[in-house]
Chain A
């Protein structure tokens, strides 16, 4: 297991490098939230989820919903690393004609099942998937990654209510709680605390973790799968911009990309010599 964790950590490091390079090339996109979510996305795709990059529509796959769709670079580099599409495609992020849209688009990108990006809508879709899979007697699971700022959207709580009501224990929401949103601290813009208490009050199984500790992420995903009768929320404390000190904990890096001057230092932080 120790080796597995170390592998995942190394994978996550490489994905961070890919995020930085991709966003440096596109000069448009969301750096901070991609870097805060990537460890969880990495653990899902390289450890937890059943999926088949050679057959994106494989019936036996688990489902992934990036509700905080602006972290699309985190999803795209992961899908490319898995082999859903060539890594060269990443250099076309947000360009006219590219399948890699600014926010995830199921119409064009292999491995993307729903369109997200307008915040607050992904958890409803994830629960719809969970209900449909259960109806078919399938054991597949559905994972949704949400932002903490996103929890300000009322629809999230409509979905939270419904998922608990329908006992969607095949649904797991991962809250990327990096504490920052466009206008500043989540706690100052519109305080969503306590996230754990809120989900508990809505009838969810709640697990709190450090969202950059691969061992905790993996353990939480396993616990979530084992929990029956209610959906699970993994409330993950994260650092916006994690891995690159230039970007860490800066709300200003929500929607700003690495520039030419920052790139070498960013890559150095990530242990990358190229």
Chain B
């Protein structure tokens, strides 16, 4: 299904937020219970596509995220399926306690789709680069946390979120990212995907780092290192089966995410394996610091969020196995 090899890989670049805008507008035509809220960023989050098509079901709440979250909870309480969007830093950050109290605690059917996650926000700088949203959303009971790898997976994730009854946090990015999955890829909440098979180590990755891991695995192959790439689209609930299998079969794990290594995917995998099967591990991500201004590709390099870092970590961890 979602699994593919290098030869099949296409080089289409699409921003996950663009895929979201398209998917949401499409879903809006299928389900009239879907309503959309934004906080003055509908052009950037791409909810504007839905707004144009279904103006009556779109609510611009102005620059007031806390109220937006509560309003969405109220809409859900009368049977609507609200999607709310703004940048990750404002959705998860400003809206955290509202999400906790008004959405997750009552298990309200609210979908929080946060765009501009991570450092690829770029020039706007550290104030706007959310490096902790996955961690703080993951800590909330009842919350499902999804970080798609590409446009195709985003479309599936949005569809799955709409079909699921309960709170969902989906983290998307600003920039165009390479495709990992083929058209029509079926997304299932809580299921990881082995994108590249391998036996010496496993890259457990999420978001745009999955494409980087595929590149790293290809290069490592030439060195005789067989790297598996396990994409985790749903950080919570974690696909424990595939993570445990990776630990058992490859004995070394390198996690990678465009997020702090504290509490995100790396944290989730470490917590799980520490209690079930302690395994050699490295966490690639942002090491407990804030972002900074720069071009997004410069920042990915600056923070070591690329195939080169993954290759170095893979070599190192494989050498430690021996």
Interfacial residues, chain A to chain B (CB-CB below 8 A): 63, 65, 105-107, 113-115, 117-118, 120-133, 135-136, 154-155, 158-159, 161-162, 165-166
Contacts A118-B97, A162-B61 given; indicate if A124 touches B77 (C-beta within 8 A). no
CB pair B66 A128 closer than 8 Å: no
B contact residues around A136 at 8 Å (CB): 78-79
Contact among A63, A118, A130, A154 for B101, CB-based, below 8 A: A118
A-B contact pairs, 15 of them (CB 8 A): A105-B105, A121-B66, A124-B67, A124-B68, A124-B98, A125-B70, A125-B77, A127-B70, A127-B74, A131-B75, A135-B56, A161-B62, A161-B64, A162-B64, A165-B62
A128 in contact with B71 (CB, 8 Å):
yes
Give a binary string over B100-143; 1 marks a CB under 8 Å from any A CB, 0 the rest: 01100111100000000000000000000000000000000000
Chain B contacts to A: CB under 8 angstroms: 35, 56-57, 59, 61-62, 64, 66-80, 82, 97-98, 101-102, 105-108
| Main SS class of interface, A | helix
* Contact in complex: A115, B62 (CB < 8 Å): no
Q: Please give the distance in Å from B6's CB to the nearest CB on chain A.
A: 48
Q: Determine whether the beta carbon of B57 is less than 8 Å from that of A155.
A: no
* Nearest opposing residue in chain B for A165, CB measure: B62
Residues A105 and B74 in contact, CB atoms below 8 Å apart: no
When chains A and B are docked, how far (Å) is the Cα of A115 from the Cα of B35? 21
Residues of B within 8 A of A166 (CB): 59
Partner of A124, one of B74, B97, B106: B74
- Of the residues A115, A126, A132, A161, contact of B106 by C-beta under 8 Å: A115
Within the assembled complex, what's the spacing in Å between the Cα atoms of A113 and B75? 11
CB distance from B141 to the nearest CB of A (A): 12
**B71:A162 contact, CB within 8 angstroms:** yes
> Shortest CB–CB separation between residue B31 and chain A, in angstroms?
14
- On chain A, the residues within 8 Å of B78 by CB distance are 63, 128-129, 132-133, 136
Inter-chain contact B75/A124, CB cutoff 8 Å: no
Are the CB atoms of A155 and B75 closer together than 8 Å? no
**Which A residues lie within 8 Å of B98 (CB)?**
121, 124, 155
Residues of B with C-beta under 8 A to A161: 62, 64, 67
CA distance A106 to B68 in the complex (A): 20
Residues of A within 8 A of B61 (CB): 158, 162
B70 contacts which of A63, A106, A117, A128 (Cβ < 8 Å)? A128
Closest Cβ of chain A to B53, distance in Å, is: 16
**A165 → B minimal CB distance (Å):** 8
User: In the assembly, what is the distance between CA of A117 and CA of B108, in Å?
Assistant: 16
- Name the residue of chain A whose CB is nearest to the CB of B37: A128
| Minimum CB distance partner of A159 in chain B | B67
Check if A128 sits within 8 Å of B107, measured CB to CB. Answer: no
B285 to chain A, nearest CB (A): 31
Kindly provide the distance from the CB of B297 to the nearest chain A CB, expressed in whole angstroms. 37
Q: How far is the CA of A117 from the CA of B98 in the complex (A)?
A: 11
Measured between C-beta atoms, what is the minimum distance from A128 to chain B in Å?
A: 2
Separation of A139 and B103 alpha carbons in the complex (Å)? 25
A126 adjacent to B74 (CB under 8 Å): yes
With the chains together, A122 CA to B70 CA distance in Å?
7
Residue of A nearest to B76 (CB): A128
B66: chain A residues at CB < 8 Å are 120-121, 124, 154-155, 158
9 further A-B contacts with Cβ under 8 Å, apart from A114-B74, A114-B106, A126-B74, are: A63-B78, A65-B74, A107-B106, A114-B77, A124-B66, A124-B69, A132-B75, A155-B67, A155-B98
* Closest B residue, CB atoms, query A144: B74
The verdict on A128 contacting B77 (CB below 8 Å), with A105-B106, A135-B35, A155-B67 known, is yes
Bound state CA distance, A4 and B35, in angstroms?
41
Given the known interface contacts A128-B70, A132-B35, A135-B35, the answer about A121 and B101 at a Cβ–Cβ threshold of 8 Å is yes
Question: Which listed residue, B59, B62, B77, touches A113 by the CB 8 Å rule?
Answer: B77
B75, A121: Cβ atoms closer than 8 Å? no
Q: Which residues of B contact A120 (CB under 8 A)?
A: 66
Cα distance, A87 to B102, chains bound together (Å): 27
Interface centre among B74, B76, B77, by most chain A C-beta atoms within 10 angstroms, is B74
Shortest Cβ distance from residue B121 to the other chain A in the assembled complex, whole angstroms: 24
Q: Which residues of A contact B108 (CB under 8 A)?
A: 114
Give Cα A132 to B68, complex, Å. Answer: 14
Cβ contact within 8 Å between B72 and A128: yes
Task: Give Cα A94 to B239, complex, Å.
Answer: 36
B98's nearest neighbour on chain A, judged by CB, is A121
- Chain B residues with CB under 8 A of A124: 66-71, 73-74, 98, 102
Partner of B107, one of A107, A113, A129, A165: A107
Cβ–Cβ contact A158 & B64, under 8 A: yes
CB-based contact A128/B75 at 8 Å: yes
Check if A125 sits within 8 Å of B79, measured CB to CB: no
Q: Which listed residue, A106, A114, A115, A158, touches B67 by the CB 8 Å rule?
A: A158
A123 CA to B108 CA, complexed, in Å = 16
